Structure 1
Amino acid sequence: MQGAVRTEKPVILGISGSERAGGNTDLALDYAGELVRGRGATFRTVYLRDHRISPCSPCGDCNSRTIPCALPDDMPAIVEEMKRADGIIYAVPVHGFGLAHLMQIFIERAGVGFLRFDRPLANKVGGIIVTGRRYSDASVHNQLVDNLLLNRMILVGSGFPALIRNTSPEPGLNDTEGLDALERMAHRMIDMTLLLRRHRSATGEPVLPLDDRNERVERSRSVS
């Protein structure tokens, strides 16, 4: 109903792209969950390592198909979880100076196989946590920023990106500055979620227009 107030708790979904259970990435995402729950919101976690996610296949029809990817795996269920959330945090370690392969496979399949048709994540709040030893964490962060913006999500700033560094062989949250950035990001995500809800409650409309949902469709219209 137009102008109706949503009374349920905001939902933030954390997606971990780490192969290592209990490692730095999981610890950072758990901490984000504590902060979110402390604000009275719901936090759910998807560990990609626990799901069957097929790499993109050589079918070659991704740019022409008009229906979601048909590869039989857990991607459809994960995408539905993303659609139900108010905000999404991608948490991933640096591997080989780049994005860990689990997250790379995931964002490829999600984007090309499911999200590009109508951009269902538009106007959802996005956050990013990158864990690493010392190098390339900013590059990985930038790649995920591009992914969030491609999906028309709202990326909240925290002063500095949530880059959590640990040079110890043992997992641990010892990066004071990184944790400060993570805390600011988590709180600002909740703040933005509540602001978006208040706007929709008052106006009955989303804060951003939803008519531009698929750049391929718009491009084909302009060509024709």
Structure 2
Amino acid sequence: MSTTPKKIVAIHGSERARGNTLDVLEHAAKTLAARGVELEIIRLAELRMSPCGPCGDCNSRTVPCTVDDDVPEAVRRMAQADGILYAAPVHGFGTSALMQMFIERSGVGYLRFERPLTNKVAGVIVTGRRYSHTEVHGHLVANVMLNRMILVGSGFPAIVYGNQPGDARHDDEGLEMLDRMLHRMVDMIELLAEHRELTGRDAMATDKANERDDRWFAARSSPVG
């Protein structure tokens, strides 16, 4: 088994500095530490992050976004990790505004060019009171799939219920589902690392072609027939 230290980066998508989402991530950090895995939490509320602006060239540019903020550094830290966790609360029947902003800025501005998160093992955590959890979970899972990450099944999704700060710490079933997901993420990370050490290659294809380069546009715009 590989003894190389492993790291998972969590994208913390809540505006609250101290709330249920962070409580759940701190629980996750303890679970992962017991497996020898470091959890690095990127708190979106602390980033200098601009929303997508009116420039309008996102679907024509062939190089990363030039907006000067902290998003490219967050993407770099994600690309260096073995796994990614997206953790967001339900806000207004949907994904929190901070997480949505990050998905747009990171995806359209940086990730679409080489898909640097390809084959990262991914997990999704949703916190909230009692509604729209599955919609937010599905939204984040779609983002995982778009970025060619590996989503490991773990039974029921890691949805943790709570209203007031501190409530999520008492959702035993939700935390159990979270732990199951985390253990299976670590198992998959280790399996992929072992395969790489034994064979000298990745277990899955790592095609990172720029989806916005001239060849991509040529193929999309060429006449049919």
1:20 is matched by which residue type in structure 2? Answer: R
Equivalent-residue separation in structure 1 for 2:39 and 2:89 (angstroms): 20
2:79 is aligned with what amino acid? K
The answer to whether residue 47 in structure 2 is matched with residue 47 in structure 1 is no
Task: Specify the alignment match of 1:171 in structure 2.
Answer: 166
Contact in 2 for aligned 1:62/1:113 (Cα 8 Å) = yes
How much identity, in percent, do the aligned residues show?
A: 53
Query: In the alignment, does 2:98 pair up with 1:116?
Result: no
Query: C-alpha separation between the residues in 2 aligned to 1:170 and 1:130?
Result: 15
Equivalent pair of 2:114/2:211 in contact (CA under 8 Å): no
> How far apart are 1:80 and its partner, in Å?
0.6
Cα distance in 2 between the residues matched to 1:103 and 1:73: 16
2:217 aligned to which of 214, 217, 220: 220
Deviation of 1:6 after TM superposition, in Å, equals 6.5
Q: Where does structure 2 lack aligned partners over 5 or more consecutive residues?
A: none
Counterpart residue number, 2:69: 73
Q: For 1:214 and 1:6, how far apart are their aligned partners in 2?
A: 31
Structure 1: 5+ residue stretches without partners:
none
Q: Say whether 1:191 aligns with 2:187.
A: yes
Q: Secondary structure at the match of 1:186?
A: helix
Q: Which moved more, 1:144-153 or 1:169-178?
A: 169-178
Which amino acid is 2:177 matched to? A
Q: How does 1:84-99 map onto structure 2 within 5 Å? A: 84-99=80-95
C-alpha deviation, 1:8, in angstroms: 2.7
The total of aligned residue pairs comes to: 219
* Counterpart-to-counterpart distance in 1, 2:91 and 2:122: 22
Q: CA deviation at 1:212?
A: 5.7
The aligned counterpart of 2:18 is: 22
User: Could you tell me which residue of structure 2 aligns to residue 31 of structure 1?
Assistant: 27
Q: CA deviation at 1:32?
A: 0.6
Is the CA contact 1:22–1:171 (under 8 Å) kept in the aligned structure 2? no
Q: Please report how far the alpha carbon of residue 119 of structure 1 lies from its aligned counterpart in structure 2 after TM superposition.
A: 0.3
| TM-aligned CA distance change 1:6 to 1:68, over 3 Å | farther
How far off is 1:7 after superposition?
4.6
- The one-letter code matched in structure 2 to 1:27 is D
RMSD: 1.6
State the TM-score, normalizing by the size of structure 1.
0.93
SS of 2:191's partner is: helix
